[in-house]
Structure 1
């Protein structure tokens, strides 16, 4: 069953412009289907966050925020799968499984609640038979050591704060269809 709707625009085209840098992964590739290892348990996956590594970050970067967003979810605001906040500025990667809990993140970094209502990585889980979904894994280079948010902040509040503190974004966009 396809929900017969147009593909959502690139959500980052709608935000204030920011510099670009490089993100790579041992597990996800732009435009390629995500392996079941990184798919949510409700869609028969293992729900393990993928490895992400970044380089060539903008000067002045003091911390990072890592997010995963699905703009193709069949709801008006898309679906947040992962929000890891206040990753130290000297970090250059997150290993696979870093989205398990706050203890799996470096330094004082923490997760805020995703749209599964949990504070961790929630893998891909589009409705069965729906169109191919894009998953924007984004590393945000931030100009302050920590955003002024806590674990109770919503993804929207984190995103709002990022609008004023993002020096650059590194984006990798794999896909998944169930």
Structure 2
């Protein structure tokens, strides 16, 4: 799958003493920087009526030394500013460069070894946006480049524990921030 053909490029070139080098980036045909999140990716429950389908994401130009990836969806505006983990996928092999749309709900859609941990709704997998009525929140879709082959996490691990471990092993991040309100 080559999402580059279907998505406006988010690639930025950084000047360096030796010329130009491409920055680590994430892109998606489903989620665009600063745009509203479509109902296909909104939670279905708690008064929200979406399809709860995880978006397609592709990443390029990871930092040197990357040994695995993780993908997260985080709402920094939820829970009185304490944040809310909507999706955490860890142990994505370094050879992987994308997740298809809806991958969260199809066990065989993830590369071997990848693990979805519990989100803050209390279950493993993707849980789309569902902020309180009358508010709009930001949702950060982040690909983490990690300096380890895997993290010792399973499907029962919570988002806060996963985030702690991710921060301890991160060497680069690429992010798309989108919005949703109802």
Q: Same fold per TM (> 0.5)?
A: yes
The separation in 2 between residues aligned to 1:151 and 1:32, in whole angstroms, is 30
Map of 2:176 onto structure 1: 172
1:133 aligns with 2:137: yes
How do residues 2-21 of structure 1 correspond to structure 2 at under 5 angstroms?
21=24
Q: Indicate whether 1:161 and 2:179 are aligned.
A: no
Deviation at 1:129, TM superposition (A): 1.1
Aligned counterpart, 1:148: 152
Q: Map of 1:92-103 to 2, 5 A cutoff?
A: 92-103=97-108
**C-alpha contact (below 8 Å) 2:43/2:49 kept by paired residues:** yes
Structure 2 distance, partners of 1:93, 1:28, is: 14
Q: Is 1:60 aligned to residue 65 of structure 2?
A: yes
Pair member with larger Rg: 2
1:46 to 42, 51, 54: 51
Number of aligned positions between the proteins: 158
Structure 2: gaps of 5 or more residues: 1-22
The answer as to whether partners of 2:117 and 2:153 remain within 8 angstroms in 1 is: no
Structure with the bigger percentage of strand: 2
Q: Gaps (5+ residues) in structure 1?
A: 1-19
